[in-house]
């Protein structure tokens, strides 16, 4: 079944971190415009050449480039899609609305001071795009990606001066999308402060709610549950829903 989630929030609010966990658990295909653009820059493609100067300055890549890119990527996905970093302007949101319906716009709310600290301490993997933090999410071995063993690096746009500009750009261009999705009735705002796992608990509850509304169910449970058996608490990942009437409807 089709389902689309948009991740909103300022730079460093945890869109990538939470998006990775969501796609692992619920099977969403995560499309991150930032990852795509950085890869294009690294590979020296036409897209990368056009995007680089905007990214280095902490500005937005022009709408026509991004909309063209995302239309193709989204068209190639036929199921559950998680959009991380797109849309970022009202024009992009309108273009997306022409292509598909957004079921949930998840907005992560974090104060500027915390964002600046997170971004200046972030280290990223150039190969698999995994994200680390020098204090809150250290790799097992200093400077080396846990997942693929590549050397971690600091993004050029994570230097403090550029981060401040990115926050300005966010406020001017992307914040209006909070209102945009609020009016469409699909917005859920989550305070993105606390541990990564604490925030994820809130995020996954919001996603479960759209599954309950008739969206796609989470990935199949382990084999210890059959369709007729009562799930054991060990297998059923949503203890709060276990005894609820809603649960029985879903069964
Ligand atoms: P993009 O890569 O999308 O950057 P962004 O939106 O600024 O988001 P970030 O990747 O910086 O942060 P995040 O929210 O994903 O946080 P993360 O999980 O990494 O875009 C880069 C550039 O590309 C843009 O500036 C623009 O030029 C261009 N671009 C992209 N999309 C575009 C579009 N649609 N239109 C035009 N231009 C576009 O977390 C950050 C750090 O915090 C990590 O170190 C993480 O470990 C840590 N962390 C996460 N959660 C917590 C927590 N709860 N507590 C402590 N630390 C935490």
* Predicted confidence (pLDDT) at residue 217 exceeds the cutoff of 70: no
Q: For every residue of 185-244, which 3-state class applies, written as one string?
A: CCEEEEECCCCHHHHHHHHHHHHHHHHHCCCCCCCCCCCCCCCCCCCCCCCCCCHHHCCC
pLDDT band at residue 214 using 50, 70 and 90 as cut-offs: low
* Predicted confidence (pLDDT) at residue 240 exceeds the cutoff of 60: no
pLDDT band at residue 213 using 50, 70 and 90 as cut-offs: low
* Predicted confidence (pLDDT) at residue 188 exceeds the cutoff of 80: yes
* Predicted confidence (pLDDT) at residue 242 exceeds the cutoff of 70: no
Ligand 1: nearest atom to the Cα of 121: 44
Per-residue confidence (pLDDT) for residue 244, from 0 to 100 = 31
Per-residue confidence (pLDDT) for residue 88, from 0 to 100 = 98
Distance CA 221, CA 86 (A): 30
The answer to whether 41 and 48 are in contact (CB under 8 A) is yes
**Selection from 186, 167, 208, 181 nearest residue 11 by Cα:** 167
Phi, psi of 80 (to 5 degrees): -95, 125
Q: What is the mean pLDDT of residues 118-132?
A: 95
Residues with CB under 6 A from ligand 1: 9, 11-17, 33-34, 37, 54-55, 58-61, 66, 85-86, 88, 92, 118-119, 122, 131-133, 136-137, 157, 166, 195-196, 199
Distances (CA, A) of 196 to 16, 19, 26, 52, 146: 11, 11, 17, 30, 17
| Catalytic residue (one of 155, 164, 202, 205) | 155
Q: Which residue has the higher pLDDT, 195 or 227?
A: 195
pLDDT above 70 as % of the chain: 84
Q: Which residue has the higher pLDDT, 211 or 70?
A: 70
Q: What is the mean pLDDT of residues 141-148?
A: 97
User: Which stretch of 58-67, 161-170, 205-214 has the lowest confidence by average pLDDT?
Assistant: 205-214
Q: What is the mean pLDDT of residues 133-140?
A: 94
* Predicted confidence (pLDDT) at residue 46 exceeds the cutoff of 70: yes
For the chain, give the mean pLDDT. Answer: 86
* Predicted confidence (pLDDT) at residue 144 exceeds the cutoff of 90: yes
Q: How many residues does the chain have?
A: 251
Per-residue confidence (pLDDT) for residue 116, from 0 to 100 = 95
129, containing H or E segment: none
| Catalytic residue (one of 30, 118, 122, 204) | 122
pLDDT band at residue 5 using 50, 70 and 90 as cut-offs: very high
**Selection from 215, 212, 199, 214 nearest residue 244 by Cα:** 212
10 Å Cβ neighbour count for 89?
20
* Predicted confidence (pLDDT) at residue 224 exceeds the cutoff of 70: no
Which residue has its alpha carbon closest to ligand 1 atom 12?
A: 12
User: Which stretch of 114-128, 151-165, 205-219 has the lowest confidence by average pLDDT?
Assistant: 205-219
Distance CA 20, CA 104 (A): 16
pLDDT band at residue 226 using 50, 70 and 90 as cut-offs: very low
* Predicted confidence (pLDDT) at residue 250 exceeds the cutoff of 50: no
């Amino acid at each position: 079944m089709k389902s689309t989630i948009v991740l909103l929030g300022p730079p460093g609010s945890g869109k990538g971190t939470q998006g990775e966990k969501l796609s692992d658990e619920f099977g969403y295909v995560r499309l991150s415009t930032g990852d795509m653009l950085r890869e294009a820059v690294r590979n020296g493609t036409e897209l990368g050449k056009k995007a680089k100067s905007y990214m280095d300055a902490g500005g937005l890549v022009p709408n026509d480039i991004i909309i063209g890119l995302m239309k193709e990527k989204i068209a190639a996905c036929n199921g559950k899609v998680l959009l991380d970093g797109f849309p970022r302007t009202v024009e992009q949101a309108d273009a997306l609305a022409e292509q598909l319906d957004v079921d949930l716009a998840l907005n992560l709310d974090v104060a500027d001071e915390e964002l600046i600290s997170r971004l200046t301490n972030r280290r990223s993997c150039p190969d698999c795009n995994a994200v680390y933090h020098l204090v809150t999410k250290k790799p097992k071995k200093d400077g080396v990606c846990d997942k693929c063993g590549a050397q971690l690096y600091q993004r050029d746009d994570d230097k403090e001066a550029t981060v401040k500009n990115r926050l300005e750009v966010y406020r001017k261009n992307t914040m209006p999308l909070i209102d945009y999705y609020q009016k469409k009735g699909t917005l859920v705002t989550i305070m993105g402060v606390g541990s990564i796992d604490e925030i994820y608990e809130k995020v996954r509850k919001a996603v479960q709610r759209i599954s309950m509304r008739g969206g796609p169910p989470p990935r199949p449970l382990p084999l210890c549950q059959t369709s007729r058996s009562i799930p054991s608490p060990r297998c059923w990942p949503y203890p709060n829903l276990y005894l609820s009437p809603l649960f029985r409807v879903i069964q």
